[in-house]
Chain A
Amino acid sequence: MVIAKNIVKTFKLSRQQKREMGDDFQGNTIDAVCNISFTCQPGRVFALLGPNGAGKTTALRMIATMLKPTSGSISVAEYDTVTQSQAVRENLGFLTGNTGLYDRLTPNEMVRYFADLHGMNNADYNTRRDHLFALLDMEAFANRRIGKLSTGMKQKVSIVRTIIHDPDVIVFDEPTAGLDVVTSRNIVHLIRDCRNAGKTVIFSTHRMGEVSLLSDDLAIIHKGQLQFNGTFEDFQNQMQTPTLEDEFIRIVEQA
C-alpha cells in the first residue's frame, strides 16, 4: 500500500528558471506538488493523471525516494520514504517510459545486476529469472548486447529489471510514452498482471485510453494540486462532459 499525506515539494528556482517564469512571477521557489494526499491499495491500479508539468513525475519520484518531500509524509509498504528509504526501495519497482538500459550489457547481465543490488540469492534469482524470461519470450536474445536490441526487446528487459525482485509496489511513470502500439500493449498487460498478483500499482499518464483500460482509482493533478481523487467509477458518475478526455480537459481548465 502507498499512503501520501499532505505532501508538498518545493524547488528553488535558478536564475534562468525565474526568467522563464516571466516578469509577473515573484519569489525564488515553486511548489511542484502542493499539499496532496492519496492512498493506493494493493490489488488495485492507481492512475495519476495530469498534463505535462503538472507534478506527476515529482510525486512519483517522492514515492520512489529519489526526492524528499518538503513537508508531509509518504509510506510505501508501511515504510516511511524519508526515514526508511532503503526498506522502501527493497519493496518497490520503478519503470519510466524513457528508462534507459546499459547498452554494453546483455539482458542476462542487466537483470542479474539489479537482482544482486536487491540482495537476491542465486536460487530465488534463477527461478524468478527463468519464469520472467519465459513469460516475455526473452531467451532468444538473453545474451545479446542490449544496444543491438529492438525497442520492444529493450522494453521487455526494462520490465524484467523492474520486477525481478518481486516488489509489492510498482510505479510506472508514463510507461508508454514514445513507445509503439505493440510495446505499449505489453506494458498494459504487465500492469494488469501486477494488479492480478495483488501488487499495488501506480501509474502516471496523460492518455485517457489507458486510464479507462486500467485504472481502479484515479487522481488528477494540475499545477501541483489535486483536482480529483476517487475511484474510476466515481469519476465516471460525476462527469459533466460526454467523453473522458473532455472531462479531463474541463477539470484542468477549471483549475
Chain B
Amino acid sequence: MKPIFTIFKKEFKDITRDRRSMMMMFIIPMLLFPLLFTIATVFTTHQTQKVRTKTLVVALIANGNAEAFRETLLKRDDLKIREDIAEDIIPQLIRSDSIDAAIRFDEQFDAQIADLQRGQIHLYFKSSRDMDASRNRLTTLIRDYENQIINDRFQRLALDRMIVDPVQVRRHDIASQRERIGKSVGGFLPYIFVLMCFMGCMYPALDLGAGEKERATLETLLVAPVSKIQILLGKCGVIVLSGFASIANSFIGFFIAIMLQREIVARILDALQGMFEISSILLVLSLCLPLTIFFAAALMSVSIFAKSFKEAQSIMAPLNIIIIIPVFIGFLPGIELNAITSLIPVLNVSLASKEIFAGTIKLPLLFEVYASLIALAALSLYGCARWFERESTIFRET
C-alpha cells in the first residue's frame, strides 16, 4: 500500500501545480453554473424588459369598422397606430422593420358581427422578431375585444355564458413540487456532472500517462521497485480524485448559482431545498464514484497507449461526444429508469440522479445501478491493469 500512497501523493502534488488541471478541477466546475445562471437571467430579463416596454408601430386598416377597438388602440401609450398605410405594402414594411405589425378588418366586419356572424380580423406580424412580442401583445388586445363582442351577444340574446362552457376541469396534480422540479432539473444536472467528471479526469489522465511518456519519466518509474499495478493505482487514484472534485465543485457552483438568483430562491427555494437534501447529494455522489473510476481507468488506458500528449488528446476528444449520447438519451421523453436502463453506463447515473432528486427512486433499481457501476469500475480497472502490463502498450515506439 505504501508505494501506492507514495505515487498518489507525488502525482497529487504534481497535478495541483498544473494550472490546466486545477482549472478543470476547481475553477470551471465552480464558475460554470453561476456564470450560466447569471448570463441566462441577465439576458432574459433584459430581453423581456425590452420587449415589454417597447412601443410597437402598428398599421391599422379598419375600413370603417370596429370603432371601439380602434379607440382602445389609439389610447394606448405602448402603441403607435398608423392609419395611412396601404394593405399591399404591409408585408414589405414589416419585413423591413418599418412597422412591427398590422391589423386589417374585413370591409363587412361590423355588419357580420351585427348579424351574429363571424367577422374576420387579419393580423400581420413577424414571429422571428423580439420574441414574437407583436403577435402576443396584439392578440391579447384582440381577445379582449372578442370577449367584449361575445358578452354583448349573450346580453342581446339574454343568455347565460355558462351554456357554452358546460364542463369545468379542475386539475389536481399529485406530483409534489420536488418531483416536478426534480424530474426536470434532475435530468439536466447529471449532464453537467458527467461532463465535468469526464473533463476533470481527462487532463490528469493525459498528464500522468502520455505526459509521462513524452517527458521520458515513465522509464524511471518502471525501474523503481514498485509493481505496475501499484503505479497504476497511484495514478488512477489522483485521476479519480480530480474527476470527483470536479463533480463536487459543480455541486458547490450550482448552490452558489441558486443563492445568487434571488428570484429563483423566492419562488422555488422550498422545492430545491427538498431536492438537494444532504442524503440526495450523497446518493448522487456515491453513484458518480464508480463512474469516475470507470472514466479514470478508460482514459488512463488511452493515455498510456498513446505515444504522445497530442495523440492521446486526439483520441480522447471524440470520447467527450460519446459519453454525452447516453446522457442525452436520458433527456428523451419516455426514457425511465428500469431493469434494462439501470445497466447502461452513464445513462443509468443520469436517470437514477433524476429519480433521486425527485424523491422517487426505487431501491431495487438503485441497487442494480450500483451493482452495474461497481462491476464496470472493477472491470475497467482490471482491463487497464492488463493493458498497462503489456510491453507493446508502454513501448509502442519500439
Contacts and interface: CB of A to CB of B under 8 A. Distances in A.
B80 to A, nearest CB: 65
Given A113-B6, A117-B225, A105 B219 contact: no
Contacts of A67: 391, 395
A92 B223 contact: yes
A67 B396 CA distance: 12
Contact of A117 (B3, B212, B219, B392): B3
A102 B217 contact: yes
A203 interface: no
B227 A105 contact: no
Nearest to B15: A104
A66 B222 contact: yes
Given A65-B223, A118-B225, A96 B216 contact: yes
Contacts of B7: 117
A12 interface: yes
Interface string A39-60: 0000000000000000000100
A116 interface: yes
B18 A114 contact: no
A222 interface: no
Nearest to B6: A116
B13 A109 contact: yes
A161 B13 CA distance: 18
B10 interface: yes
Interface string A152-176: 0000000001000000000000000
Interface in B1-43: 2-3, 6-7, 10, 13-14, 17-18
Contact of A58 (B3, B13, B227, B398): B398
Contacts of B217: 99-102
A214 interface: no
Interface residues of A, number: 34
Contacts of B141: none
A89 B14 contact: no
Given A100-B216, A105-B13, A117 B6 contact: yes
A32 interface: yes
Given A67-B395, A116-B6, A117-B224, A102 B14 contact: yes
Contacts of A68: 391
A220 interface: no
A94 interface: yes
A99 B6 CA distance: 21
Which of B215, B216, B217, B219 has most chain A Cβ within 10 Å?
B219
Nearest to B212: A100
Interface centre among A92, A94, A100, A161 (most CB of B within 10 A): A100
Contact of A100 (B215, B222, B225): B215
Nearest to A91: B225
A119 B225 contact: yes
Nearest to A89: B225
B3 A104 contact: no
Contact of A86 (B14, B17, B227): B227
A168 B239 CA distance: 35
Given A32-B398, A66-B395, A99 B219 contact: yes
Interface in A136-190: 161
Nearest to B217: A100
> A-B pairs with the 4 shortest C-beta distances?
A100-B215, A100-B216, A104-B17, A117-B224
Interface of A: 11-12, 32, 58, 61, 64-68, 86-87, 89-90, 92-94, 96, 98-105, 109, 113-114, 116-119, 161
7 contacts: A12-B392, A99-B219, A105-B10, A105-B14, A117-B7, A117-B225, A161-B220
Interface of B: 2-3, 6-7, 10, 13-14, 17-18, 212, 215-217, 219-227, 391-392, 394-395, 398
